[in-house]
Structures are given as C-alpha cells and as structure tokens.
C-alpha cells in the first residue's frame, strides 16, 4: 500500500517537474529575447554570428532544445552567467549559505513564536489576550514587507533612530559580526511572517481544542501546558509540517529577494535581483527553475511526512 | 436582494471599520481617477524636499512634486491593480475550479489540478521576473504573473465546494429533469460558491496590492505613472537624507487600504463559517 502511494506521488511530482521546466524554458528561452547580440562582441562576422546561434541552439526545433537543456540541467550544468562569465552553479553555491544564515533565525523564530502565540490565543479563545493577539496579527498582515524593512532600517540603522546596527553589508567572520548584521533582517522577517503564522496556528489549534478528548483530559486534571504541548500539538502536526515545509522555498527566494537587495547582502536574493535588473538569462533561468523544482520536492516530502505523522493515512 | 454579504460585513465592528476604510479610500481613488483630485502629482517645482505646508500636506519630493497628490494617484493605481488582478484571478479560478469539481477525477479535473500545481510551484515574484524577461518588461507581465499565480487558490476552494454540492438533492433533481451539466454548473453550483468567492476576492486584492509594491520596488512592476511601490522605492533614497514625506504618505495609504481589506475579509470569513456551522 505504502509502495503504491510512494510510486503514485513520485510520478505526480515528476509530471509537475516536467511542467515547471517546460514553463520556464518556454518563457525564458523559447519566447525570451534573442541572446545572440547580448553575447557576441562588436564587429563580428556573419559566420561568427551563425556559429554562436548554432551553439545556442537557435537553429534547432523546440523539443530538441528543451530536451538538450533538461539533460544539461539534470547533470548540474547551469551554464555561465552573461554578466560575469562565472559558472552559475558556483555563483549559487556561494550565495546559498549566506541566504540560509540570513533567513534561518527569522524563519525558526517566526514559526516558534507564531505557534506559541497561536496556541495561547486558541486556548484563551474570546479572552482579551486572544483579541489582542488577533488584532496584532491583522495589523501585521496589513503591513507591507517593504514598509517594515524601511521602518526598521530607519529606526535601528540610521542616525535618525537608534543607529545601533549597520545599514548595509554582511559579515560572518565572527559571531558578533554575524549577530550585528542578522538582527535587523531577522526582525523584519519576524514581523512580516508572525501575523500569518499566528493566525494559521490559532485556527488549527482552535479546531483541535473543541474536540471531546480535550474536554475529557481537562476533566481528568491535565494541565494546559501538558495538554497543549502533548496531544493537541501532536494532532496538529500535519498542518504544521505542511506549512513549515511549504514556506521554505518562499522564504529562501521571495523573502531574501527584498531583504538582500535592501541590506546589500550577497545571497540568492541579491543574485536574483541582479539577474533581473541586468537581464542575465542563465542566472534567472537557473533560479526560477531550481526554486520551482525545490518546491515540488518539498511538496513530495511534506506528503510523506504527513503520512508518517498521521497514522490514519496508512489504512487502506 | 439586499446583498447578504453587506449585512454580514456590517454585523461586526471589524467589518464595519473595514467597509468604511475601503469606501473612503475608494471614494478618494475614484475622484482622483475622474480628475477631481490629485492633479498636481506630476507637476514639478524648484523646491526639492519642500517642508510640510498648507499647500503641500506631506511636503514635496526630490523633484518638487506634491507628495499628497502623488499618494492619492498611487492609491487610485493600487485600486486599479487590485481590481484588475482580482477580477481576472477570481473569474479564472471560479470557471476552472467549477469545471474541475464537476468533472471530478476525470481528465478536465486532472488537467486543471496539474496546471495549478505547476503554477503554484513558481513563486509569484519569480514568475513576474520570468514573464518580464520574456516580454522585455512592462506592466502586462506584472498583471499576467499575478493572475496566473493567484487563481489557483480560488480554483482549489471552488473545486472542493462544487464536489461537496454535487451530491446534494437539488443538483440530483436538476440532473433528473435533464438539465445539461454546463447549465447546472453555471446556474446552480457557481452561485452557491459566491460567499467563498467574496472572501477570496478580498484576499486576492490584498495580495495583488502587496505584490505590486514589491515588484515595483524591484523594477519589474509599473513602468510609468505613480504607485505605492514606486513611492516607497523613492522613499528608500529620501530616508537616508532624512526626508520622511514619501515614506509616511505611501505607507500610511498602503496600511489603511490593506487593513480595510483584511478586516472585511475576516468579517466575511466569520459570516461564512457561521452560516456553514450548523450543517
């Protein structure tokens, strides 16, 4: 039964991967602007132009080019950046640890605090605390990420505010330098995700707390903490896992895009922004395709994880 | 019928606040679009970063343009972007979701769900970047990216709702008297998903405005004119010089608009939950 489930889901994930690569390839390579004059030097002969066009595959039919690109992609060859001439995979491999170090604290804290606040609000449903937490999260939902970043930078990194942290840049050579540079981005990420996370976890927990087993456990004298951190959390595990896993690609790319552009941090987001603004096709193509592929893989992992966390799924 | 959703909105304090905020900002935006307000938004003057005064409520920007007028036009732009994206995304989501739910587990369903799965895998900013690259930039890429990304949630919800309704007696009766499937879907099933579409519409509106801000900041949003995102992008330069006019005006309008929409979405959602609770 499990084998059949695994096979079916993997097959579906494979079809999604095919769709995603088809979409990005069609958009950025097939319909995208002609790269010949982007790459060729001045005063080139018609023969040189023809040679480059043949190398880029412009004389081939769609499916040949798509297949060729898929084979390259699968072997990890992402081409060379138009801008710097550097290998795209080296570029991304250098940027990824920076982004991971940048978003990890905010991501973890955002989920943990969101979970705690959500559980607390659901437990005290209808109380003043619940209404305060809900009000705060609606306010959080109504703030744009950009506004939060600008406001935090103004308050914490400029002489008009406290001026405690550097406004731009990134250093990871010592813990102190890392903390100095990661604090403001972490706060920004926290503020923008906390509202969504709290509401989500509150809704999940509120449904669970209405169930009879909770009432029974309370009647037998279970303390709120043991109840919330034990059976209630365990029964909420499936939506929690799904949410945490699903938000990984979003935070890695969409979250870092704005943070890194704004704070001048050399991670994936900055690489993507540079590729967008300079029209660097190989880099942008690699980022879009790899992010989408990561999302498909994460979706698959989430389904397996939920299957493990929820025994009911194992019944025929 | 006096629209039921309006009564649901008006019942809770949050819903009332949301309604009022949207109504007021919408009024300002429509006056601006009709040319009664905010007409000085592009006229420059020699006073760079002018002080707050009776004629310039939020001062002027680097080019000496009146920030208050620009904020009005930007709010009107936000409404235009929000309405366009919401209409597109909700219409596509309702149609494809309805089709997938009605033909559940047959090829139309598989196709629609596969397409939604593919589009959901590409984050909206990256889809916008890819489209902007393919088209050579432009607003069309931004609108298309948002519509392509946002219809999927609506489609999934409508699909689930249509699947739930499909087995109910009134649908069986409609089938028994020989109504064609298309007509049942259009006349009996989709109108019953209206509450869902309204909640989704307000959430899509929020997402569209927020996305526009970030895309415009990244340089792949609006080309010309003025929007909240472009004003905030301008503000990032001003702030380092200590001029807060642009930032305060743009973020204030943005916050009030998003707050209104979020409050309305919450009130509608609560109303829907209450209606569905007894069954």
For B145-179, the DSSP string reads: HHHHHHHHHHHHHHHHHHHHHHTSHHHHHHHHTT-
Among chain A residues, CA nearest to B233: A146
Asked if A16's CB is within 8 angstroms of B117's CB, the reply is yes
Q: Which of B118, B129, B217 sits opposite A16 (nearest CB)?
A: B118
Task: Name the percent of chain B lying above pLDDT 70.
Answer: 93
A261 interfaces chain B, CB cutoff of 8 Å: yes
Q: Where are the domains of chain A?
A: 92-280
The whole-angstrom distance between A311's CA and the closest CA on chain B is 24
Partners of residue A262 in chain B, C-beta under 8 Å: 236
Partners of residue A276 in chain B, C-beta under 8 Å: 129, 132-133, 218-220
Partners of residue B120 in chain A, C-beta under 8 Å: 295
pTM: 0.89
Residues 43-72 of A with CB under 8 A from B: none
Is the pLDDT assigned to residue A140 strictly greater than 50?
A: yes
Partners of residue B262 in chain A, C-beta under 8 Å: 138, 141-142
**Spatial distance between the Cα atoms of A270 and A96, rounded to a whole number of angstroms:** 11
Confidence of residue A316 (pLDDT cuts 50, 70, 90): very low
A142 interfaces chain B, CB cutoff of 8 Å: yes
A179 interfaces chain B, CB cutoff of 8 Å: no
Task: Name the percent of chain A lying above pLDDT 70.
Answer: 97
Q: Which of A62-66, A135-139, B221-225 has the lowest mean pLDDT?
A: B221-225
pLDDT tens sequence across B11-23: 888 899 999 999 9
The CA angle A216-A123-B16, to the nearest 5 degrees, is 130
A158 interfaces chain B, CB cutoff of 8 Å: yes
Confidence of residue B1 (pLDDT cuts 50, 70, 90): very low
- Give the fold, CATH level 3, of A92-280: MetI-like fold (1.10.3720)
Residues 228-257 of A with CB under 8 A from B: 249-250, 253-254, 257
The whole-angstrom distance between A17's CA and the closest CA on chain B is 8
Q: Which of A86-95, A224-233, B41-50, B168-177 has the lowest mean pLDDT?
A: B41-50
Q: Which among B266, B79, B123, B248 has a CA at the least distance from the CA of A141?
A: B266
Is the pLDDT assigned to residue B87 strictly greater than 50?
A: yes
Asked if B239's CB is within 8 angstroms of A150's CB, the reply is yes
Q: Which of A15, A254, A292 sits opposite B114 (nearest CB)?
A: A15
Asked if B129's CB is within 8 angstroms of A19's CB, the reply is no
Average pLDDT, chain B: 87
Asked if A139's CB is within 8 angstroms of B258's CB, the reply is no
Residues 197-226 of B with CB under 8 A from A: 206, 210, 213-214, 217-220
Confidence of residue B276 (pLDDT cuts 50, 70, 90): low
Q: Regarding predicted confidence, which is higher, B42 or A113?
A: A113
Tokens standing for residue B141: 């890429």
Q: Which among B110, B138, B211 has a CA at the least distance from the CA of A145?
A: B211
Q: Are A295 and B126 in contact (CB under 8 A)?
A: no
Query: Testing the interface with A: which of B113, B130, B144, B253 to mutate, by most A Cβ within 10 A?
Result: B130
Q: Which of B219, B229, B262 sits opposite A277 (nearest CB)?
A: B219
Residue given tokens 């380092």 in the structure block: B240
Q: Give the mean pLDDT of B95-117.
A: 93
3-class state of residue A44 by DSSP: coil
pLDDT tens sequence across A304-313: 888 887 777 6
Q: Regarding predicted confidence, which is higher, A162 or B117?
A: B117
Tokens standing for residue B133: 């690259």
**Spatial distance between the Cα atoms of A127 and B262, rounded to a whole number of angstroms:** 21
Question: Would you list the DSSP string of B27-67?
Answer: HHHHHHHTTSS-TTSS---S-TTPPP-SS-TT-B-TT--BH
Among chain A residues, CA nearest to B260: A142
3-class state of residue A80 by DSSP: strand
Among chain B residues, CA nearest to A290: B122
Is the pLDDT assigned to residue B146 strictly greater than 60?
A: yes
Partners of residue B258 in chain A, C-beta under 8 Å: 141-144
Q: Are B174 and B189 in contact (CB under 8 A)?
A: no
Is the pLDDT assigned to residue B217 strictly greater than 70?
A: yes
The whole-angstrom distance between B158's CA and the closest CA on chain A is 21
Partners of residue B217 in chain A, C-beta under 8 Å: 146, 258
Q: Which of B206, B220, B251 sits opposite A276 (nearest CB)?
A: B220
The whole-angstrom distance between A20's CA and the closest CA on chain B is 5
Residues 41-70 of B with CB under 8 A from A: none
Asked if B259's CB is within 8 angstroms of A150's CB, the reply is no
In this predicted complex, what is the ipTM? 0.89
Q: Are A14 and A22 in contact (CB under 8 A)?
A: no
Q: Are A198 and A121 in contact (CB under 8 A)?
A: yes
Query: Testing the interface with B: which of A13, A26, A146, A296 to mutate, by most B Cβ within 10 A?
Result: A146
- Count how many pairs of residues, chain A against chain B, have C-beta atoms within 8 Å: 136
B270 interfaces chain A, CB cutoff of 8 Å: no
């Amino acid at each position: 039964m499990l084998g059949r489930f695994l096979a079916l889901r993997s097959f579906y994930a494979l079809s999604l991967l095919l769709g995603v690569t088809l979409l990005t390839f069609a958009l950025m390579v097939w319909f995208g602007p002609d790269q010949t004059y982007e790459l060729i030097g001045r005063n080139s002969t018609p023969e040189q132009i023809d040679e480059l066009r043949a190398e880029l595959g412009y004389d081939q039919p769609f499916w040949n080019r798509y297949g060729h690109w898929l084979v390259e992609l699968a072997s990890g060859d992402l081409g060379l950046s138009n801008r710097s001439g550097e290998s795209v995979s080296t570029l991304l491999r250098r940027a990824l640890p920076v982004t991971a170090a940048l978003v990890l604290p905010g991501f973890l804290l955002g989920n943990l605090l969101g979970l705690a606040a959500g559980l607390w609000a659901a437990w005290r449903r209808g109380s003043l605390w619940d209404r305060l937490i809900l009000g705060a999260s609606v306010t959080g939902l109504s703030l744009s990420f950009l506004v939060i970043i600008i406001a935090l930078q103004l308050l914490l990194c400029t002489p008009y505010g406290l001026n405690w942290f550097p406004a731009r840049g990134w250093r990871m050579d010592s813990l102190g330098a890392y903390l100095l540079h990661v604090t403001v981005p972490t706060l920004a990420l926290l503020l923008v995700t906390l509202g969504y996370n709290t509401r989500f976890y509150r809704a999940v927990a509120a449904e669970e707390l209405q169930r009879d087993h909770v009432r029974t456990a309370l009647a037998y004298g279970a303390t709120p903490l043991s109840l919330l951190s034990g059976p209630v959390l365990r029964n909420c595990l499936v939506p929690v896992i799904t949410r945490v896993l699903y938000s990984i690609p979003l935070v890695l790319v969409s979250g870092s895009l704005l943070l890194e552009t704004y704070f001048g941090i050399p991670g994936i987001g900055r690489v993507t922004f540079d590729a967008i603004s300079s029209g660097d096709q190989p880099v942008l193509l690699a980022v879009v395709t790899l992010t989408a592929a990561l999302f498909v893989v994460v979706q698959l992992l989430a389904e397996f994880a939920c299957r493990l966390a929820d025994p009911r799924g194992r019944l025929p | 019928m006096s629209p039921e959703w309006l009564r649901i909105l008006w019942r809770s304090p949050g819903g009332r606040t949301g309604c009022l905020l949207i109504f007021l900002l919408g009024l300002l935006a429509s006056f601006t679009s009709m040319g009664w307000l905010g007409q000085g938004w592009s006229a420059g003057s020699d006073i760079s970063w002018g002080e707050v005064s009776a004629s310039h409520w939020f001062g002027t920007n680097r080019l000496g343009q009146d920030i208050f007028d620009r904020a009005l036009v930007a709010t009107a732009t936000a409404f235009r972007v929000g309405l366009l994206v919401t209409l597109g995304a909700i219409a596509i989501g309702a149609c494809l979701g309805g089709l997938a739910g009605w033909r559940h587990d047959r090829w139309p369903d598989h196709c629609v769900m596969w397409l939604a799965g593919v589009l959901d895998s590409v984050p909206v900013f990256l889809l916008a970047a890819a489209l902007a690259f393919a088209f050579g930039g432009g607003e069309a890429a931004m609108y298309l990216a948002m519509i392509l990304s946002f219809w999927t949630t609506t489609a999934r919800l409508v699909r689930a709702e249509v699947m739930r309704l499909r087995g109910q007696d009134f649908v069986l009766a409609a089938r028994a008297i020989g109504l064609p499937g298309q007509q049942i879907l259009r006349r009996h099933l989709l109108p019953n998903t209206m509450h869902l579409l309204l909640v989704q519409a307000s959430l899509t509106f929020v997402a569209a405005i927020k996305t526009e801000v970030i895309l415009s900041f990244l340089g792949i949003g609006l080309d010309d004119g003025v929007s909240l995102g472009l004003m905030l992008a301008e503000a990032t330069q001003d702030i380092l010089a200590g001029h807060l006019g642009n930032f305060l005006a743009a973020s204030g309008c943005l916050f009030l608009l998003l707050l209104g929409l979020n409050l309305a979405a919450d009130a509608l959602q609560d109303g829907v939950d209450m209606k569905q609770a007894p069954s």
